[in-house]
Amino acid sequence: MRVVSLVPSLTEAVALSAPGVLVGATDWCTHPAGLGVTRIGGTKNPGIERIAALAPDLVIANEEENRAPDLAALRAAGIEVLVTGIRDVPGAFREVDRVLTACGTGSRPRWLDEAERTWSALRPSDRRTTAVVPVWRRPWMLLGRDTFAGDVLARLGVDHLYATHEDRYPRVPLEELRAAAPDVVVLPDEPYRFTPDDGPEAFPGRPCALLSGRHLTWYGPSLTEAPDVLGAALRAVRR
| 156-214: pLDDT as tens digits | 999 999 999 999 999 999 999 999 999 999 999 999 999 999 999 999 999 999 999 99
Residues 111/221, Cβ–Cβ less than 8 Å: yes
- Tens of pLDDT, residues 23-35: 999 999 999 999 9
Q: Inter-axis angle of helices 148-155 and 226-238, to 10 degrees? A: 70
- Tens of pLDDT, residues 205-235: 999 999 999 999 999 999 999 999 999 999 9
Calculate mean pLDDT across residues 53-70: 97
Alpha helices in 30-88 (DSSP H): 48-53, 68-76
pLDDT score for 110: 95
> How much is the pTM?
0.93
Tell me the Ramachandran region of residue 41: left when phi exceeds 0, alpha when psi lies from -120 to 50, beta otherwise.
left
What is the percentage of the chain residues whose pLDDT exceeds 70? Answer: 100
CA distance 1 to 110: 21
Residues in CB range of 89: below 8 A, 6 or more apart: 119, 148, 151, 152, 155, 223
Identity of residue 184 = V
Average pLDDT of the residues of the chain: 95
Residue 239 has pLDDT above 70, yes or no: no
The alpha carbon of 6 is separated from its chain's Cα centroid by a whole number of angstroms, namely: 13
The two beta strands, 134-136 and 141-142, are: antiparallel
